[in-house]
Amino acid sequence: MPGFRCQEPGLAPVPDTRHLIPDTCFASGTWNLKPDNFVTDYLVLPPVRAVRGTVAAPPSKSATNRALLLAALSPEPVEIVRPLDSGDTRALVRCLQAMGAAVLRTPSGLSVGGPLGRPSRDDVVLDAGDSGTAARFLAATAAAVPGRYLLTGSEQLVRRPMAELVAALRSAGASVESAGAEGFLPLAIRGGSLRSGDVVVDASRSGQFLSALLLAGVAVEGGLSVRSRGAVASFPYVETTLETLADFGHSVERGAEGEIGVRRGVRKTGAYAVPGDWSSALPFFAAAGIAGGEVSVTGLRWPSPDADARALDVVASMGIGVEREAGEIRARGGPGGLVPVSVEARDFPDAVPALAAIAIFAAGESRFRGIAHLRLKESDRIAGVEALAAAAGARCVAGEDGIAITGPPRRPGVAPIRLPTFDDHRLAMAAALLSLALPSLLIATPDCVGKSYPDFFRDLETILVRD
């Protein structure tokens, strides 16, 4: 029995209408992710006997966004091969087009080229939607290229912090004014005001602040030398930024005091192939442990600098068999069942909801530490994980810097229970994992996965074994 959708608990199920969604072409002018016939209130996934099959990893959201920006800063078009088509990447494309980028669809993906800049007395509105990555990257780049810009976003996005990045930009001469609450969107930015030189940024709440400045260094004559003040949240994502800068031919130099210098390079890049997304692949490995069976995910780079690739060791330590090969990662449920872990997860925050789902089914207490910055994501993910664990019948204690989860779940009765997702794509994927082994769970607003992985539920359905 496949999954079905319902509008409210207790009402008759509405047949899954996802197959009615017309195919869309990224950057073709068709942007609607929510057709009128797409019921989005709840999704029910009946428990399964096992999982079995192969899934192609979706393109990396992190790599796609970095490639889009760097291609738009290139003097000649760059073909981005197999870019991710999602809510976040579409938002960035729209903003780059508003700044002057040329974006064309190709048989392999997108052709993107500059120059960026809209010399004008009128503000160019840049609406980043729900994308925190786009907002942070655009804030720094808009300050480096000609024009006047008003950077804004959704109600959700304007609550996410920007203060540390704004302070760093101002210290380097950039004219950035808050059009609302100080340190948050909307921001009024005078382009071309960012000066070459040394910049210090506090990236303890988001490594995106550091990445934004590094990427903007390409657009500043003479480049930028950027240093973080204190620890950097999710530092592996900064490594991804540096790797992408090098792939595009730009100069990256690391200093003895931790500073990183970035200047525009002279080597031209004609094409960039987007690797698979580890953040979106991890739920499939988790599914093998929770439901039993074996799953392979293709298209992932291994070895990989990706932040969430590091979480694969945690998956293995929780009792899930993992085999790593270049181009394919396999996971299978272990004969001894799932086991709890205690782990520092600061470097791979996007993996925590999926790891927490595994922990809910492990006998004993699991601890995930160093994740205070999860409260500043699309939702407060620490509170979100706590709510999911409670709904599943597991004990979860949340602190400022971490969570402790005690499994296995003990659900009284069989009455339908809502799994809140808080419109957060990673929480929705974690909720789907709980549904594989527990009955009568209703996943709220499942369409929020469109932010990073619109085909997640389609792909998950292909590996579910119910007979």
DSSP 23: P
List b or e across 141-154, with b for residues whose CB sees 16 or more CB atoms inside 10 angstroms.
bbbbbbbbbbbbbb
The answer to whether 61 and 84 have CB atoms below 8 angstroms apart is yes
Per-residue confidence of the chain (467 residues) as pLDDT tens digits?
356 555 544 333 333 323 322 233 333 322 233 433 334 589 999 999 999 999 999 999 999 999 999 999 998 999 999 999 999 999 999 999 999 999 999 999 999 999 999 888 889 999 999 999 999 999 999 999 999 999 999 999 999 999 999 999 999 999 999 999 999 999 999 999 999 999 999 999 999 999 999 999 999 999 999 999 999 999 999 999 999 999 999 999 999 999 999 999 988 899 999 999 999 999 999 999 999 999 999 999 999 888 899 999 999 999 999 999 988 999 999 888 999 999 999 999 999 999 999 999 999 999 999 999 999 899 999 999 999 999 999 999 999 899 999 999 987 667 889 999 999 999 999 999 999 999 999 999 999 999 999 999 999 999 999 97
Answer for the pair 21, 38: CB distance below 8 angstroms, yes or no: yes
Q: Is the pTM of this model over 0.85?
A: yes
Count of other CB atoms within 10 angstroms of residue 414: 9
What 8-state DSSP symbol labels residue 156?
Answer: T
Q: What is the DSSP string of 444-458?
A: E-GGGGGGT-TTHHH
**Given 85, 350, 424, 455, the catalytic residue:** 350
Omega within 30 of 0 (cis) for the link into 115: yes
CA separation for the pair 343, 321 (Å, rounded): 18
CA 144, CA 115: separation in Å to the nearest integer?
A: 12
Q: Is there a catalytic annotation at residue 350?
A: yes
Which residues face 329 on adjacent strands? 297, 324
The answer to whether the beta carbons of residues 198 and 225 sit under 8 Å apart is: yes
Closest CA to 274 of 26, 104, 25, 60: 60
Q: Give every strand in the sheet of 320-325, ordered side by side.
A: 320-325, 328-333, 293-298, 50-56, 464-465
Determine how many CB atoms are found less than 10 A away from the CB of residue 208: 27
Residue with tokens 């090098």: 246
Domains of the chain, each with CATH number or no CATH = 4-58+277-465 (3.65.10.10), 61-273 (3.65.10.10)
Cα 425 → chain centroid: 8
